[in-house]
Structure 1
């Protein structure tokens, strides 16, 4: 491995975020991938967008080959102090009122109790008017 095994904070790694100086954190290790930017099959933008954070998930989601993983050794700088990486929180949707099927059914019943008599009355008036005109 190329690094001297030093332990770095995320703040120290985060300043290396340009095309001339690009470091990544993957699986608790820090890599200087500056020389690899031009050769990266996904383009340099992909690597640059992964700076300043733990890029482990991004790296694993792509499904890199064994040879790509072996190639990482030559870019090794050191270890990341994991206490400096913010903990990932699980998404919790906002609290919403419970959908009450009974209240919906109750509303529909009340609506029908109002509309059905009006419809019957309208039909009766319509039949009576039709009968008078005939």
Structure 2
């Protein structure tokens, strides 16, 4: 198992939780982003920097992820593709995506995109709370056991 992170939009506090978990469990961690990220010197942690562009990081993750790997992302279409490849998927808020619910999430995402395109202000996600961080850490521990 490897942990893949859609790191362009992953909150720093979540990356820090992931770094500690990778070291504690001996699990390889790959941060994929279109810009350089600070990563500690570790045999387990690496950054994969991709070219800038729409979905370049997502496409690289989909190309490389394998069944049994774990992906951390809030990107619903990316989550769906990773699930199709047999990976586990966890959001930075601790929500575990699965094949039974991902289609409904894709439909809602598309609906919200349509609303935004027609000028409706939908707002963004709430700030990451302490409860979100704890939920993420708890789910991560379950998945790494």
Higher relative contact order (CA 8 A, sep 6+): 1
Report the TM-score, using the length of structure 1 for normalisation: 0.24
**Higher helix residue share:** 1
